[in-house]
Amino acid sequence: MIVFHVNGQERRVDANPETPLLWVLRDNLGLNGSKFGCGEGLCGACTVQIDGTPQRSCITPVGDVQGKQVVTIEGIAADHAVKQAWLAQEVSQCGYCQPGQIMSAVALLEKKPAPTDSDIDAAMSGNLCRCGTYGRIRQAIHAASKKNRVKGGSKS
């Protein structure tokens, strides 16, 4: 039995500890927001936070998250500055990569409230978007950062 927290809730799953966290989230826990894009850590569609760090859940064995805190797209509040900025900049196209993009962006802003363009390059280049929304992702991150800082650095 593997016990960990997902979006603040304790979850117990009876799964082979080698099973990637992504498939436990999707197939066992019914949390379908994290997406499968490559299965090899190459695209970022499956990005979640584990104890505050963005990780590729497709290559993270669920055994490794025993006792840890996992946050998925479902655990990011609708009024979070990043989600709001995503809406304001109209980032999404097909939308498939966007949960992963948002998870990476949230983690970036938690670490660097005022990221530079090269911070964004570094933090976001592991997330592919076949629809090519990169320009808007960059703008949205800057906008969310600005909003957070105006509000006095709160995480909204």
Partner 1 sequence: MSKKSGMTRRQFITTSALAGGGLLLACHVPFGNRYASAAADSSFAPNAFLRIGSDESVTVIVNKSEMGQGVYTSLPMLVAEELCCDWEKVTFVPSPVATEYNHAQFGPMMVTGGSTSVRSEWERLSLAGAAAREMLIAAAADEWQADPAACRAEKGVIHGPGGKMLTFGKLAAKAARLTVPKQPKLKSGSKTLLGKPLHRLDSPAKINGTALFSIDVTAPGMLTAVIARPPVFGGKVKNLDASKALAVPGVKQVVAVDAGVAVVADGFWPALKGREQLQIVWNEGEGGTVSTAAMAKEYARLAATPGLVARRDGDASAVLEKSKKRIMAEYELPYLAHATMEPLNCFVDLKKDSCLIRTGSQNQTADRNAAARVAGLKPEQVTLETTFLGGGFGRRACPSSDFVVEAVQVARKTGSPVKVIRTREDDMRAGYYRPMWFDRITACLDGQGLPLAWHHRIVGQSIIAGTPFESGMVKEGIDATSVEGAADTPYAIPNLQVELHSPRNAVPVLWWRSVGHSHTAFVMESFLDELAHTAGKDPYQYRRALLTRYPRHLKVLETAAQKSGWGSPLAKGQGRGIALHESFGSFVAQVAEVSLDAKGQLKVQRVVCVIDCGRIVNPDTVKAQMESGIVFGLSAALYGAITLKNGRVEQGNFHDYPLLRLAAMPLVEVHIIESSEPPGGVGEPGVPPIAPAVANALFAATGVRVRSLPLTPDKLKAALRDKT
Q: Which does 145 bind (CB under 5 to 8 A by kind): partner 1, ligand FES, none?
A: none
Closest to partner 1 by CB, 97 or 143: 97
Binding part of the chain for partner 1, among 49-57, 63-71, 136-144, 146-154 by CB under 8 A, reads 136-144
Closest to partner 1 by CB, 49 or 83: 83
Query: 42 is written with which tokens?
Result: 């190459």
Closest to ligand FES by CB, 37 or 75: 37
Positions in 94-133 near ligand FES (CB under 6 A): 94-98, 129-131, 133
Positions in 15-74 near ligand FES (CB under 6 A): 36-39, 41-46, 56, 58
Task: Print the SS3 string covering the chain.
Answer: CEEEEECCEEEEECCCCCCEHHHHHHHHCCCCCCCCCCCCCCCCCCEEEECCEEEEHHHCEHHHHCCCEEECHHHCCCCCHHHHHHHHCCCCCCCCCHHHHHHHHHHHHHHCCCCCHHHHHHHHCCCCCCCCCHHHHHHHHHHHHHHHHHCCCCCC
User: Footprint of partner 1 on this chain (CB under 8 A)?
Assistant: 16, 19-20, 23, 26-28, 30-40, 42-43, 45, 72-74, 76, 78, 83, 86-87, 90-99, 102, 120-122, 124-138
